[in-house]
Amino acid sequence: MRRHPKRAAVVVLGVVVFLALSALLARWLSLENVERTDILGVLTAEVHGDAKAMLGALHGCDGPCRAVVVENARTLRRPGAVLILADQSQTAYALSSAAGFTRIAWKVAGRLPVVQCIKVSRSGNALSGLTITLLSVSAPIQPTADCP
C-alpha cells in the first residue's frame, strides 16, 4: 500500500478552506434573519403602543423621527401578534457597509395590512462581520408605494 502525503495534505487543506468559506457564508446570510427579527421587534412594540421600546430599538431617532414613533405607537396599536407579509430590503446581501430602506408589509389578524419603511444601516464587511442597526420607521405608506 502506497501513501500519498501530498495528496492527503491537499485534501485536508481543501476541506479546511471549504469549511471556512461555508462559515463565512452562513454568517453573512444570517444577517437577513437578524434584520427581520429586529424589525419584528419594532413592529411588535408598535402594535403594543410601546413608543419607549420602539425608540430603544431605533438608534439616533430624535426630533421628527421621535414624533413619528410616538404617533405610530398611538395610531397603530392593536391586539394580536404581528405577521410579516413581505419585506424588500435595499441593503439585502450587501458585502460591505450600506444604508437604505426596508419596505415591510405586515398585519395583525382581523385588520388590514400596513406598509411601512424602516431605515436600516449595515456596517462592517463580509469578512470581519456586518452589524445591523435600525435608524427610523416611517408612518404607514400606501400599499403600492415604494420607500424613498
* Residue 80 · residue 108 · CB < 8 Å: yes
In CATH terms, the fold of domain 30-137 is: Nuclear Transport Factor 2; Chain: A, (3.10.450)
What are the tens digits of pLDDT across the range 136-145? 999 999 999 9
Please indicate, yes or no, whether the overall pTM of this predicted structure exceeds 0.75: yes
Instruction: Round the average pLDDT of the chain to a whole number and report it.
Output: 90
C-alpha cell at 16: 479546511
Q: Which of 119, 124, 138 is nearest to 35 (CA)?
A: 119
Beta-carbon-side half-sphere exposure of residue 130 (alpha carbons within 13 Å): 29
> Grid cell 441593503 — which residue?
91
**What whole-number distance in Å separates Cα of residue 68 and Cα of residue 66?**
5
Other Cβ atoms within 10 Å of 117 Cβ, number? 22
What are the tens digits of pLDDT across the range 73-126? 999 999 999 999 999 999 887 778 899 999 999 999 999 999 999 999 999 876
**What whole-number distance in Å separates Cα of residue 71 and Cα of residue 3?**
73
C-alpha cell at 88: 424588500
Q: Which of 58, 52, 56, 62 is nearest to 116 (CA)?
A: 58
Distance of CA 49 to the CA centre of its chain: 21
Going from N- to C-terminal start, the domains of the chain cover: 30-137
Other Cβ atoms within 10 Å of 41 Cβ, number? 16
Residue 57 has pLDDT above 70, yes or no: yes
Alpha helices per DSSP H over 1-148: 5-29, 31-47, 51-57, 64-75
